[in-house]
Amino acid sequence: MATLLDALDAAVNHHMAGRTDAAERNYRLILGVDPAQPDALHLLGVLRAQTGQPDPAVALLTRSVRVRPGAPQPWAHLAGALRTAERPDEAERVVRRALALDPASADALDILGATLHALARYPQAADWLHRANALRPGHPETLLNLGTVLRDQRRFDEADRVFDVALARHPSNAAIHLARAVGRLVRGDLIGGWEGFEHRWRRLPAPPWAGEPLNGATILLHMEQGFGDAMQFVRYAPLVARAGGRVVVEASPALFRLFQASLDPSIAVLVRGPEPPPHDHHCPLMSLPRAFGTDLGSVPAPIPYLMPERGDRNLWRDRLAEGPEGLRVGLVWAGNPRHRNDRNRSLPVAALRPLVNVPGVRFISLQVGEARSALATLAPDAAVEDPMDRVRDFADTAAILANIDLLISVDTAVVHLAGAMGVPVWLLLPHAPDWRWLLNRDDSPWYPSLRLFRQPRPGDWETTLGRVAATLRAHAHQPADPA
């Protein structure tokens, strides 16, 4: 017993000091001797959650609460792991169990507030987070969660005050800087937002570029976030080239052919590898608006700046010519399920029924991923073509988009591709949108061909899709100008 207690003490000391590998070895040692040791299960689960592994964390914490169901903290931490794993309904049930055991658990109050935020129940979320903040004033996670909920309720002045308090206490907390920056960006204060937006993760040690003359130096423009982000901001690559250097764009394999076909041959496009290519300066693609001082009146929009190869476009023209006549409308109803806000931005495929029942329209699915398999559930009520078996990358998707009249989509990467090509897009947005779509407007300074359809209230897709269906019905016989 003494040996296990010594190992547990050692593991906790390593854990608190940030020596995660040593902490895990000791937790594993304990569990090798006693697989049901509740503290080791609990704390190893916490370690897994802290190192970005929510699914293993859920498994370990579930074992912990089964062994010791009367301990509130493991229940709270299990709820936190479930929320991070994008399972907020389960997280709510679990965290309420934690609060039943300890109503004054600040961790549990904070997690319940963050979970209700994920469920778009904003007023309740704010109430619970205020309670958590009263119990532990100044805690960075609670202030971050509270400020973010207030921001998404559009209570911007209150949110800014919370973020200011948080940053006064925790000036190096990158997540708080980012959350405050997003609040500025979504209000259209791009210049004010770009600086805080620089607190994103970056992986390269070379000097970052901020817009100065390059004088023949090589600059690497690199992806750091999603496909859509890369497509939105690669528009700046030709502007960087004018600074007098050699521009190298590093892209994922899914974007390589598209960028190579679209960018000037003087700009080198490389597939991202384990090590970056030689370079003198670097700039993440999402930092380019800051480097150029972009505001709402100076968004560079030389549309189209992305385009498919002619051979691919003609191939898909011939393939789509084999189908029936009618307004060609592409559909995308779900984004990456691992996206932190996917629950609110994506749709169940059944929600598309008001659209797919509009006569005179030929629907073509551009959906990828797990949600694609749900398309069959619309039959036999509607016929939606699915050509995605023959799509290899975004260059092929671009070729399809070049041969349709309109894309109707939730907020995902294909919207950026269509917008960059100048294809008309009707974008379906949740009540609390991503910052780039701003507020209270139905157009986008980033993409002139977009028309934005917003939820009038959190979770109300029915009203939004009813409006889209009515608009589509009016345009069904006007394929030349659906936007």
Query: pLDDT digit string (tens) for 238-275?
Result: 999 999 999 999 999 999 999 999 999 999 999 998 88
Asked if residue 221 lies in contact with residue 288, where contact means CB atoms within 8 angstroms, the answer is: yes
CA–CA distance, 344 with 367 (Å, rounded to integer)? 17
Tracing tokens 């997690």 back to the chain, one arrives at 111
Q: Which residues contact 1 (CB under 8 A, 6 or more apart)?
A: none
What's the DSSP call for residue 208? B
**Structure tokens of 60?**
């370990």
222 three-state secondary structure: strand
Torsion angles phi and psi, residue 281, rounded to 5: -135, 160
- Look at residue 477 in the predicted model and tell me its pLDDT: 65
Peptide bond into 69 cis (omega under 30): no
pLDDT tens digits, 176-195 = 999 999 999 999 999 999 99
Mean pLDDT score of the chain? 92
pLDDT digits (tens, 9 = 90+) for 293-336: 999 999 997 899 999 999 999 999 999 887 778 899 999 999 88
pLDDT value of residue 382 = 66
For residue 161, pLDDT over 90 is answered with yes
**Confidence (pLDDT) at 2:** 52
For 17-46, b/e burial (b = at least 16 CB within 10 A) is: eeeeeebbebbebbbeeeeebbbbbbbbbb
Q: Report the pLDDT averaged over residues 215-236.
A: 94
Residue 227 has pLDDT above 80, yes or no: yes
Alpha helices in 374-480 (DSSP H): 394-401, 413-421, 461-475
* Secondary structure percentages of the chain, helix, strand, coil, to 5: 55, 10, 35
Instruction: Indicate if the pLDDT at residue 10 is higher than 70.
Output: yes
* CA atoms of 265 and 172, how far apart (whole Å): 41
Entry pTM: 0.90
281: which DSSP letter?
A: E
Tell which phi-psi region holds residue 170, choosing left (phi > 0), alpha (psi between -120 and 50) or beta: beta
Residue 479 pLDDT level (bands cut at 50, 70, 90): very low
Q: Please give the biggest Cα pair distance in the chain.
A: 80
Is the per-residue pLDDT at 339 higher than 80? no
Half-sphere exposure of 164 (CA within 13 A, CB side): 6
